[in-house]
């Protein structure tokens, strides 16, 4: 009779791990470590500039939001709003105002929500690049360890 533990994913994985050759176990552990590093650490490394720029722009928008000079940017419908020149006060708020054109009166969360969504998109893009890199490294490592294992078996 088959017990319930052996049918679970953990039971199947442990069964494979017990039957695997030493080089396969080594490959699995190294691959999991590389994957974890690639998904957790690499997104911040790959997308550091974009994340830094977004964080700086977010800080400027938060600082500009309560300025009395920015009242028109917060209260006038976007279609009738005059463009704010680059470098002028309220420019960053004006740029992000494009994403929330229909919400009036403008609340800070209306502007910050798309910024936070963009940050998550950037992070996910970096995580996907890291996972692809980890899969490539894992495949190369598997091939190298498998080749070495076969070569040793042929020499004996």
Orientation of helix 22-40 relative to helix 108-155, angle to 10°: 160
Backbone angle region of 6, left / alpha / beta, with phi > 0 → left and psi within -120 to 50 → alpha: alpha
Q: State residue 32's pLDDT score.
A: 86
Half-sphere exposure of 75 (CA within 13 A, CB side): 7
Tokens representing residue 150 in the block: 């076969």
Backbone angles phi, psi at 142, to 5 degrees: -60, -45
Tokens representing residue 126 in the block: 């970096």
Q: State residue 141's pLDDT score.
A: 86
Roughly how many angstroms between the first and final C-alpha of the chain, as a whole number? 40
Cα separation, 20 vs 47, whole angstroms: 37
pTM over 0.75: no
* Per-residue model confidence as pLDDT tens for the chain (156 residues): 455 544 565 666 667 667 777 777 788 888 888 888 888 887 777 778 888 988 998 898 889 888 998 888 888 877 788 888 888 888 888 888 776 656 667 788 877 888 888 889 988 888 888 888 888 988 888 888 878 777 776 776
Sketch the domain layout of the chain as residue ranges: 46-123
Cα separation, 32 vs 44, whole angstroms: 19
Q: State residue 1's pLDDT score.
A: 46
Q: State residue 9's pLDDT score.
A: 58
Q: State residue 122's pLDDT score.
A: 87
């Amino acid at each position: 009779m088959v017990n319930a533990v052996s049918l679970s994913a953990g039971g199947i994985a442990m069964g494979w791990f017990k039957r695997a050759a030493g080089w396969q176990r080594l490959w699995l552990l190294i691959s999991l470590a590389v994957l974890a590093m690639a998904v957790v650490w690499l997104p911040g490394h790959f997308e550091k500039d974009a994340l830094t720029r977004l964080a700086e722009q977010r800080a400027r928008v938060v600082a500009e939001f309560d300025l009395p000079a920015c009242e028109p940017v917060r209260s006038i419908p976007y279609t009738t709003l005059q463009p704010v020149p680059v470098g002028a006060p309220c420019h960053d708020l004006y740029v992000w105002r494009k994403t929330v054109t229909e919400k009036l009166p403008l609340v800070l969360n209306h502007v910050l929500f798309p910024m936070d969504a963009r940050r998550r998109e950037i992070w996910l893009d970096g995580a996907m690049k890291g996972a692809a890199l980890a899969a490539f490294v894992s495949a190369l490592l598997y091939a190298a360890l498998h080749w070495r294992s076969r070569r040793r078996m042929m020499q004996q």
